[in-house]
Amino acid sequence: MRKFLINVNGNEYEVEVEEIANGETTSKRPTPQPKPAAQPKPAAQPKPKEEKKEVVVTEGAEVVEAPMPGTILSINVNEGDEVKAGDVLLILEAMKMENEILAPTDGKVTSIGTTKGASVNTGDKLVVIE
């Protein structure tokens, strides 16, 4: 009878294995004995509180919406900034890719409806430009 330590998915098992001699064994089945994992699990990190801002849209304003679900990595404009069409407003991470969200028209940023680190869904209002 030989003993082995086997590690499966982070759990350690002590297993006894008997060798077969002439096609016969004296023990019919090995008995695995689970051992507790030696490494303690890290404490769960609290997620940052996601803040959804109220977006006020006036008549004639252009609303920039999230094209896909993701996380806001950075906001490159502030309320009151003048932007040109094609300027990068913010960076949206989706599926491990950084997507630049561009200004569709020239104008002034009147409202920002998200924060850095916030998770957004498709269609969420991100920036309002007048």
Residues 42-66 have pLDDT tens digits of: 655 555 544 556 666 777 789 999 9
Stretch 17-38: mean pLDDT, rounded? 64
The fraction of the chain above a pLDDT of 70, given in percent, is: 72
Instruction: Characterise 58 by phi-psi region: left (phi > 0), alpha (psi -120 to 50), beta (else).
Output: beta
pLDDT at 82 over 80: yes
In contact, 57 and 128? CB cutoff 8 Å = yes
Query: What's the CATH number of domain 62-129, 3.50.50.60, 3.40.50.150, 2.40.30.10, 2.40.50.100?
Result: 2.40.50.100
User: In the chain, what are the domain boundaries?
Assistant: 2-35, 62-129
pLDDT at 11 over 70: yes
The rounded mean pLDDT for the chain is 81
The predicted model scores a pTM of: 0.57
